[in-house]
Structures are given as C-alpha cells and as structure tokens.
C-alpha cells in the first residue's frame, strides 16, 4: 500500500497493511539529519523514515 492508501483505509475503518505512522519534525532536526546523513536538500526525511503523515516546519 502507498501512504495515501494506508491512511485512507484507516480513516475509512478498513484494515491497512500496517498502522499509518505520523510524525512531526522541527526544521532544525531536518537540517541536522541531512548534515549527519550527508544528504543534499532534495532528500526527504519522510521517505527515509517511512512516515505516512508528517508535518515539517
């Protein structure tokens, strides 16, 4: 399932393949994550951690 399918299934009271994961990151954390991992600015923390719903500030 894609993240969208997973979230929509859970919201529609259907069984997703796994529980959707939500997280929220401060911009400082995202910047430090990129530096420590050696990623450029196009890297997505959401993809790296397998987050289905995220708020990045």
What is the tens place of the pLDDT at every residue in 4-18? 999 999 999 999 999
Average pLDDT in the 19-46 region?
89
CB-based burial, 31-48: b 16+ in 10 Å, e otherwise = eeebeeeeeeeeeebbee
Q: Is residue 7, in this structure, part of any structural domain at all?
A: no
* The total number of structural domains that make up the chain: 1
Q: Is residue 32, in this structure, part of any structural domain at all?
A: yes
Q: What Å distances lie between residue 22 and 32, 50, 55, CA to CA?
A: 20, 9, 8
Q: Is residue 45, in this structure, part of any structural domain at all?
A: yes
- The span from the CA of 17 to the CA of 36, in Å, is 31
pLDDT at 57 over 80: no
Q: Is residue 40, in this structure, part of any structural domain at all?
A: yes
Q: Is residue 34, in this structure, part of any structural domain at all?
A: yes
> Which residue in 56, 55, 57, 51 sits closest to 2, CA to CA?
51
Task: Say whether pTM exceeds 0.75.
Answer: no
């Amino acid at each position: 399932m894609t993240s969208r399918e997973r979230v929509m299934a859970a919201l529609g009271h259907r069984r997703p393949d796994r529980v959707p994961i939500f997280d929220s990151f401060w911009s400082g954390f995202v910047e430090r994550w990129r530096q420590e991992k050696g990623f450029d600015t196009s890297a997505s923390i959401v993809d790296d951690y397998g987050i289905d719903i995220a708020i990045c500030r």
